[in-house]
Copies of this chain bind each other. A is one copy, B any other.
């Protein structure tokens, strides 16, 4: 039994930099035709020089693979029309982080005053540049995303021409918001389709499943699964695959992030097959993103075959999701 995917896309990916980039970039470029690259380096990607140089380092690390890095800029309310226009096609989207909300987000936005954000967001609207948001407040960990939904809605209402992507959503409330505003979209990760807080902290504590936003309740996972498995036209796959060295995960203060890039397509196929929704997978992992972003990824055919496959215990210093376990699908051929 096989399944064929045309130009699968990962619309939310952390590749980091330096040695980590060299380790993890090929694990994405092998199976994906492209990915939206997060800009939260240290310092963040916020100039054209930094963006082009990072793009080149990614292309260098993924040499030999058909892979298009769709680059993003770290949101600042000081960006104006001319600055953003100068990027031309090199800029695909801008990523907004509330200050301090996740890894390397210290320089993010503190407060969502519409008038402060207006100049940049209007320039983005005019240029057709989507705004990707890590939508969490600094409230109680289980409520952060739910509390942020009014911010999404307020932005969507005030900037009706701006495409707003609610990144790595984890709650039923975010799914519900999708249908209230035409210009709200979302990415969903593999891990949030699979786990709840029970998997992180219900038995033993499992640091490799600890991420931000934290996995929520069964009712939330159900809403996410329903949207993804039915290929809701406003949702796209975005792995949020976030590598941290093993020692930073298994320690006294464990960093947030699940590393899924190398196993994402196989695990998604397993999930879609289990729910008899394989026919919808192409839309979730590629077609929806193409329409939402208006992009045409490079041609790349990925053929997966149903065969038990062991997941390595680590890739370099990074432990993937399902480390040491068996997945029922594997990538057979890439054309």
Contacts and interface: CB of A to CB of B under 8 A. Distances in A.
B205 A254 contact: yes
A252 B250 CA distance: 6
A232 interface: no
A250 B198 CA distance: 19
Interface stretch (A73-81, A91-99, A207-215): A207-215
Contacts of A24: none
Nearest to A255: B204
A205 B202 contact: no
Contacts of A210: 201, 205
B207 A254 contact: yes
Contacts of A141: 197-198, 201-202
A252 B205 CA distance: 8
Contact of A205 (B197, B203, B204, B205): B205
Nearest to A252: B250
Nearest to A199: B141
A140 B205 contact: no
Contacts of A319: 252
Majority SS at the chain A contact face: loop
Nearest to A200: B201
A64 interface: no
A107 interface: no
A292 B250 CA distance: 42
Contacts of A200: 201
Which of A210, A252, A253, A254 has the most CB atoms of chain B within a 10 A radius of its CB?
A252
Contacts of A142: 142, 197, 217
Interface in A183-227: 196-198, 200-208, 210, 214, 217-218
A251 interface: yes
A253 B202 contact: no
Contacts of A203: 253
A61 interface: no
A256 interface: yes
A160 B214 CA distance: 42
A205 B244 CA distance: 13
9 contacts: A140-B196, A140-B217, A142-B197, A203-B253, A205-B205, A205-B207, A205-B253, A250-B252, A252-B319
